[in-house]
Structure 1
Amino acid sequence: MTEWRPGWWARAFRGAGSWVLSIREGRLRVCGIPQEVDADVIDVLGLAVDAGSGQLIVTLVHGTETVLNGLSRRAVREVAAAYHSELDERRHLAALLSKAEEQGETARLWWSRVQEVMNRPRWADQDTIAALEGSRPDVAAWLAADSDPRLSGLPKDKREDQREAVDACRTTDLSAWTVQRNEAFLEWEKNELADFFRTVEKSPLTEEQTRATVCFDNRVRVIAAAGSGKTSTMVARAGYAIQRGIAEPTEILALAFNKKAAGELSDRLVSRLGNDGAGVASSTFHAFGLRIIGEATDRKPSLPDDLTADNGIGRLARIVDVLRDQDQAFRRDWDLFRLVFGRQLPDLGGEADPEKSDRNTGTSGFGTLAGEIVKSQEEVMIANWLFLNGVRYQYERPYAYDVADAHHRQYQPDFYYPDIDVWHEHWALGLDGTPPPHFDGYAESMQWRRHTHVRYGTRLIETTSATIRDGSGFEHLEQELRRHGIQLKEDPYREAAGEPPISDQAMLALTRSFMSHAKGNRLTPDLLAERAGRTLRARLFTRLYGVVLAEWDSQLRAAGQIDFEDMLNLATDHVESGRWMSPYRLVMVDEMQDTSAARAALVRALMKTPGNYLYAVGDDWQSINRFAGSDLSVMTRFDNWFGTASTIWLDRTFRSPQSLCDVAGGFVMKNPNQISKNVRSSAPETDETVCAVSVRERSHYGSVVRQHLTTLDSELTEPATVLLLGRYSRSKDDVISALEARYANLTIEFNTVHASKGKEADYVVVLGLERNGFPSIVEDDALLQLAMAAPDSYPHAEERRLFYVALTRAKRSALLVTRAGRESAFLLELVGDRVVKIRSATGDDITPVVCPKCKKHTMRERKGRYGRFFGCTGYPTCKGTMKLAES
């Protein structure tokens, strides 16, 4: 019921009158009385019943009282219930209306902000758009109010004023609009600042360089191909930021990998931008970190001079010498690693490139300290361990009994110990006790060999791949040898006639590189030990590292000094804690691919201030400084480090011909972890831009290179430059005669490939494309992955990038120099891809046939029971064959 009136009895005998009370649609009305009531239920202060007379008293908010007689108690209860029900509903609707008004106003303000951002003459950056997207208002209540006939309290003109904004909140695709709007802005800027883009550098900026300049997202990653003009974009970026008022010159910081690069960038900024360029801060990371610490603490830290001189290798050598003299356990571990565990092992069942061959026997494999050639690197470890401990052995000596039959050739166990008449078999078995799946017939062969020893009563020691790798195999071997009567006599200085062990210098370089990565990623020795897991090689190395690190840090503390990694970490801490406030709005980083984890953390700290801009330029294909701590993931996983970023490609090169770009790019892109790009060349094409020449002996390098240069010189009519590149500086000795010769048109320079980064020449000669020389098997040690945040496990990943750098120094052509029968795996890969031919010194085509199975070795003609055929020179690791006709 929504209407009440006094009954006839009350009207007849109690003078109640003929009033009517109604409560509906949020209003309370009383008719039939001198002062009728028509009020919103919210304006009714209350309903009360006089206890004596039973009168209903209606009190309004302004104090007016209306007294109604003649209602029964039941009716009074009904009126009260109806009133409270309508009041609750009215309050609910009022709250909805208020929320609708609030949402409408919020939508209007949001839409106004969106239009302001989209209409201003500046790139709409990611953080601004993300903030708008994150603050997009909820308009559900407004939409409900707009469609609810009960909610007429919001004036129509106000609703229409908010409707556009509400619709925009619901339907606007900010991402798509931003892309479209920024593209339009880019075109507008091209016209508006045409003179700037044409004159800011010596040559007008290309389309992609202009885009890289104008795209002012908060984080921009520029992937610049070799010779694409990346420095031009950094200069233009700074000039554009100043001209458009995005940043003052003193609010721009340019960070470079080394002092030379920082100086060159500074000179370029000044020469192109004048006084504005002089105001830009150009610095190395190390100098900048020292500045932060000095300003944050009023005390600039001290760094040892020898860190700058040789990256601390000399200091490390002195520490190791002292530890070897004073700590017997350290000396034993160091020598054990150097002599036995120095070379990394391939995965169980994986194919490793043979390092040595015997021309007399035709066997190939791996050299030991004692001088034998064994078939696997695990056997090298066993042989070298036996040599270290003074145990006499014979490798693959024919078994004491003639056991050859129709299915088995004469048995040759892996090792024989003549002093105790004991044989030793080393099985390729994993942790589960099974051989690799592709080792066909291996289990049956094991069973036959074991049965042979049982049958003839000969004694056998057994080790497995899994136990040698985790170290328990050496413990077992030592116990067995002692049990059979051999006394071990450890002597790391025993004269070795065979393959030299890894040098102390190589171990020092590996340790220093490991330290750079571990400190940069703030990994303690305990954490590294956890990462090392079961592998004895990794456990042994991290144990050595922990001892070295403790002494390294102790010496620094005693002298009141810090190293580069600690300095960068400390600088980062000062920025993150707010003890040092950055004045920079735009931070530009050159050669981002060579940035270490510590450098990246410092850059990330600088970006914590809202409204700052990061501009990182680099090329992951040219990341070649892992030995100095660089972490490729900073470039390849940029978003993980710094947040969502825009990526711009500078894929047009002005240096190398397209054919050379295709060879080099196709080669480096074999690694799926590299960022894909399609390099396009504006350089003129020449004939055979990449070719190889082979000599019989390394001593012939000088004559063949000199012959090549003499031919070039005779064909040229104008001056040209030549870069002779070696994997190591010692390669210079191989071509000293070519360097000292005089040429009419050639200017010749020798560099290591690392030192050639940033250089270019008309012609390039890459020396030493030999097995185990390039790629180097020492520099690419997998142990470094223990200390890296996101290691690249692709084989020879760093060396592959280094070879790409070598090729792309050339403006016209590159010559690769190799040795017959010792061709580099990289060179054979190019030959197998049919993009490079190998010629002799006399110009004959001697391109070998690459094994179709392993693709890492060449094929050699052999004679078998069914006639002549081609077999892989990697046998027995690879058993690839071809018919003569197929070759």
Structure 2
Amino acid sequence: MMKRFSSGLIGQWLTGTTEWTLALTDEGMIFNGGAPIAYGDLQQVVVDEGVVWDTLAFGFAGGIWHRVEAIKADAIQIQRAVNAFAASHSDAARPKPQRRQEAPSGTLAGLLYRPLYLSAWEVDRWAREQSADGAQAGGAGTMPADLEAAVAQRNRQFVDDELERYAGFFDGVESAPLTLEQRRACVVMEDRNLLVASAGSGKTSVIVGKVGYAIDRGYARPEEILVLAFNNFAAAEIRDRIAARLGNLLEGAAVRVQTFHALGQSIGAAAGTRAVPAPAAVLDEGAIDGMMGDIIAALRKENAGFDSAWIELSALYLKPSPRPADLQSPHAWERHLLRSGTRQGGRRGYLTLNGEMVASQGELAIANWLFLHGVDYAYEKPVHYVSPDGRRCQYRPSFHLRELDAHVDHLMQDAHGRPAPVFSVKHRDSLAWQQSAGAELAVCLCTTSNEYASGQLLRRLAAWMQKGGHVVASRPGRQAQEALDAWIRTESSPFLTGLLRAFIRHAKSNRIGGTELIRRTGQCADPHRAALFARVADAIGARYAERLATRGEIDFDDMIIKAESAIRDGSHRHRFKLILVDEFQDISQGRARLLRAMLDARPGCKLFCVGDDWQSIYRFAGADVSLFKNFEASFGRAALLRLDSTFRSCQGIADVASRYVDFDGNPFGKKVRAADPSVRGSVTVMQYPARDKAGAGLNYVLQRLHREAADAGAKRSVFILARYKRLLEQVPAPSNFSDWLDIESRTIHGAKGLQADCVIVLGLMEGGPHAFPSMQTDDPMLDLVMPHAEAEPYAEERRLMYVALTRARRRAILMSCEANPSMFVTELLHDPASRAALDIWKLNAASASAPATAANRKMRARDGTAGCPACGDGQLVQRSGKYGDFRGCSSYPDCRYTEKVRAA
């Protein structure tokens, strides 16, 4: 590769100099056709700036000087080219253009006059060299305080100079000029850099700007830069932006932009890894869940021990149980029931295999165990007894075993016999009954929640029954087996499959297993459930690995693991001098190890990571936000940079969204500043009276948004977001608002990185499989295979709420069920500062089911919408049934109005 420059006739005429030539070749710099001079011998560059032209003086080892005079545009091109060639052909630091003679390189002054940003690695290397020469003592990996202060002051001045020098570049590199925050993030070139961003703050613009600046300033050539994204869509967007915005700097070369998995695959291929990646269809989450279902079915047939553990986990220990100390009030207990239990016949609790509703998870385990073992029982059958003072009393112990004429009473007690505060009355009554009436009863066994968590309860129950003469069946009967199969199909598998998938991925990525996993299960609040879960997950994970090995395939996590190994053992060497990572908040431990291996393999390689810890929502896929929050612990001393300004949401949305995630001490001190300072009316809570009125509530919201858009004369985009895709299918958006609204339905995860004028968040209620927050992602089983447990309950769900709200530019609307509102809505309504910024819309029971009136029909006629003639609130949506096409009310099943679609 070669570049050639010359004075040219115009240049000679303007500068009044004789002809000169400069050729930049792989062998060195050639002036006027002479011998090549190595780039490593280039010690300094002195620039004498003029009005029309500049003089560039190049000083080489041995006191050799060469000068060229060129018009400013050509002089700038020469400087860039020399920097680029020197960067690629010499490990020596390139000299910074100066107007005065540099100090000798061995002195502190010489260090400070180096041409680029002084990173900690470069300063440490210089200090070690001086120490080895018996000069200034630096010490390996250390920096004296006076040296650190001098370097810091010098770098501050350097950054200020660069911001001024590259002002024109940063003004035009993207469609809008970069902000000062963005420009500073581009210019600072520490060895390790973390850019803490906010939603909608222009992270991609920084990546494009930093790549362009690094190329132009000579830190790296395009092919020496790697940008890592977390999905193909993001990688394609960044790749296209770089190509479109930096074409003049790339000069036909390309910056590599890849996902981590594509990087792992390419490293493995280059290193000669024989295993091939499994097809994308096989590695899709849905496909993996299906494969896991097949594996579970096979293991249950082949392995009696696994089958027993799977049944026990599914039927007796499906969900985490609370600690008695956490149940201080009826409200705390009700919240736990809403999240982990179910509702039937006006009562909330836990539905057993036998079809009755019990009060706690311990009682659920006892009831299901009795049912599976063929024990005839009655739940809470009243018994009467006489108290010591002669009063006739009644008590309802948990279970009456009819065959033994015995009772089992279950109490919420900790290991020290202390009752949960909310159950103190039941605990008192149980003790009174046992003391006063126990002698009159054939048998009574009292069990505790502590025994349930430790796994002692059911063993103790079995031994107690056998001692009483009852023969416990070894396997469920036909009726019990059918009930168990239905339970696993509808209750267990949907909950456990995703949790097991996440557990297995984290265990592999974080390298936690064997004795370490056993140690952690013993320290868990639910040690028996943890041991069961780990045993089941280990067996499934091993069989999953066997299936891939049989096919000669590897999955996404194995790609990363094998790539790290290839870098560590030297079977693959990379050439990157600058690595940029987008969405760093979603990094996993395996990906972090791969990055560290690449950095260790090439000292001096720089790492720039950008992300938003408040948007870390992929824990189920292996993400570990602690790597972001503790960046320096994993990657070493770093420059911390920030993007606090958002160009998307107004200040009201930013403030409400931030309150959900500002729960861990805010380690980076973030305060999101919006370009739009408006507050009131930007966040709305829409309250509908009951769960079955969600459709009517959504319809009401869309009507109002439709009218607002029509009045403004501007079409607006609307996202309808839900925690789960299934909820979107249950509450479809009416399609007859398209003249003024552009409506899309997405999961919150699917909306990441996107934006709309208005956002509607569904499912903000407690309880049920589609509730938000979800209980599954907060399951403590994931903490067994994570380096750090989350500091706050529902931490990931809070971050997901932040993501949902910050998709909105104008307004965010939270759909809340008044009968059982989500804790996320309750928190807002109980916080005076947040409530003052909210609008409250209400859909009362009457308006949700009122018949159509002439007034609301006129309103619909004005809007151009097709209102339901029966209920007046729903919209007529075209559907297909067994009798052909028809239009039905969107409020179904609350309103069952239909009409035939007549053929055209």
Same fold by TM (over 0.5)? Answer: yes
What is aligned with 2:472?
487
1:73 corresponds to: none
How many equivalent residue pairs?
712
Asked whether the 8 Å contact 1:604–1:642 carries over to 2, the reply is yes
Report the AA paired with residue 616 of structure 1.
C
- Residue 610 (structure 1) shift: 1.2
Residue of 419, 423, 445 corresponding to 1:461: 445
| Correspondence 1:539 to 2:531 | yes
**Cross-structure match for 2:194:** 221
Select 1:391's aligned residue among 375, 385, 389. Answer: 375
Moved more, 124-133 or 335-344: 124-133
Distance 1:694 1:294, change over 3 A: same
Structure 1 674/481 Cα, relative in aligned 2: closer, same or farther at 3 Å?
farther
Using a 3 Å threshold, how does the CA distance of structure 1 residues 184 and 462 change in structure 2: closer, same or farther? same
1:753 correspondence with 2:741: no
Give the conservation status (yes or no) of the 8 Å contact 1:756–1:809: yes
Q: Deviations over 1:535-587 (max 9, x none)?
A: 11110111111211221122222221112212211110111111111110101
Alpha-carbon distance in 2 for matches of 1:561, 1:406: 76
Aligned to 2:23: none
Q: Give the letter for the 1:178 counterpart.
A: V
Which sections of structure 1, spanning at least 5 residues, go unmatched?
Answer: 1-108, 143-161, 847-887
| Aligned equivalents of 2:416, 2:552: Cα separation in 1 | 52
Which residue pairs with 1:28 in the alignment?
Answer: none
TM-score of the pair, normalised by structure 2: 0.73
Output aligned runs, 1:263-342, within 5 Å: 263-274=236-247, 276=249, 279-297=254-272, 299=274, 301-310=276-285, 312-342=288-318
SS where residue 245 of structure 2 aligns? helix
Q: Which moved more, 1:445-454 or 1:606-615?
A: 445-454
- Matched letter for residue 742 of structure 1: F
2:696 aligns with: 703
> What is the Cα deviation at residue 659 of structure 1?
1.4
Counterpart AA for 1:487: V
- Are the equivalent residues in 2 in contact too, given 1:656–1:808 (CA < 8 A)? yes
Identical residues among aligned pairs (%): 35
- Aligned equivalents of 2:426, 2:394: Cα separation in 1: 16
Determine if the alignment matches structure 1 residue 582 to structure 2 residue 570: no
Matches within 5 A, 1:101-116: 112-116=106-110
The structure-2 alpha-carbon separation of the partners of 1:547 and 1:713, relative to structure 1 and needing over 3 Å to count, comes to: same
Q: Which residue type is aligned with residue 591 of structure 1?
A: E
Shift in Å at residue 409 of structure 1? 6.6
The corresponding residue for 1:119 is 113
Moved more, 427-436 or 598-607: 427-436
Query: Does the CA-based 8 Å contact 1:692-1:816 persist in structure 2?
Result: yes
C-alpha change, 1:583 and 1:441, in structure 2 (3 Å) is same
Aligned to 1:724, which of 720, 723, 731? Answer: 720
Describe how 1:183-194 pairs up with structure 2 within 5 A. 183-194=156-167
Aligned residue among 212, 217, 234 for 1:261: 234
User: 2:106·2:130 contact (CA, 8 Å) conserved in 1?
Assistant: no
Partner residue in 1 for 2:123: 129
The equivalent of 1:431 in structure 2 is 415
Listed as ranges, the matches of 1:378-457 within 5 Å are 378-401=362-385, 403=387, 410-435=394-419, 447-457=431-441
AA of the residue aligned to 1:327: N
Larger radius of gyration: 1
Contact 1:341/1:381 (<8 A) preserved: yes
Normalising by structure 1, we get a TM-score of: 0.75
Deviates more, 1:760-769 or 1:180-189: 180-189
1:276 deviation in Å? 4.4
Q: Distance in 2 between matches of 1:645 and 1:171?
A: 18
Q: Structure 1 residues 180, 393: closer, same or farther in 2, change over 3 A? A: farther
- For residue 507 of structure 2, the aligned residue among 518, 536, 560 is 518
Q: State the partner residue of 1:680.
A: 673
DSSP-derived class of the 2:451 partner: helix
Is 208-217 or 178-187 further displaced after alignment?
Answer: 178-187
Secondary structure in 2 matching 1:829: helix
Whole-angstrom CA distance in 2 between matches of 1:684 and 1:746? 25
Could you give the per-residue CA deviations for residues 486-527 of structure 1, whole angstroms, max 9, x where no partner exists? 534535634379999633233222111111111111223453
Aligned pair 1:570/2:562, yes or no?
A: yes
Matches of 1:449 and 1:646, distance apart in 2: 67
Query: SS of the residue aligned with 2:434?
Result: helix
**Cα distance in structure 1, aligned partners of 2:392 and 2:132:** 81
**Pair 1:530 & 2:519 matched:** yes
SS at match of 1:410: strand
The one-character-per-residue Cα deviations of 1:395-426 (angstroms, maximum 9, x if unpaired) are: 33322335497999732222222232211122
User: Do the aligned partners of residues 182 and 440 (structure 1) sit closer, same or farther apart at CA in structure 2, a change above 3 Å counting?
Assistant: farther
Residue 584 of structure 2 is matched in structure 1 by 592
Does the 8 A contact of 2:380 with 2:396 survive in 1?
yes
1:843–1:505 CA distance, 2 compared to 1 (3 A):
closer
Return the match for 1:689 from 682, 707, 726. 682
CA distance in 1 between counterparts of 2:124 and 2:656 reads 41
The one-letter code of the counterpart of 2:727 is S
SS at match of 1:297: coil
Taking the aligned partners of 2:518 and 2:414, their CA distance within structure 1 comes to 22
Q: Which position in structure 1 is the counterpart of 2:659?
A: 666
Tell me the equivalent position of 1:42.
none
Structure 1 vs Structure 2 CA RMSD = 3.2
Deviation at 1:192? 0.6
For 2:620, the equivalent position in structure 1 comes to 627
CA distance in 2, matches of 1:460, 1:823: 40
Corresponding residue number in structure 1 for 2:863: none
CA distance in 1, matches of 2:545, 2:689: 49
Out of 195-204 and 303-312, give the one that drifted further: 303-312
User: Per the alignment, in what secondary structure is the counterpart of residue 715 of structure 1?
Assistant: helix
Aligned to 1:778: 776
Distance 1:553 1:359 in 2: 41
Offset of residue 439 of structure 1: 7.4
Give the C-alpha shift of residue 131 in structure 1.
4.2
Deviates more, 1:387-396 or 1:458-467: 387-396
> Retained in 2: the 8 A contact 1:592–1:617?
yes
Question: Hey, what does 1:645 align to over in structure 2?
Answer: 638
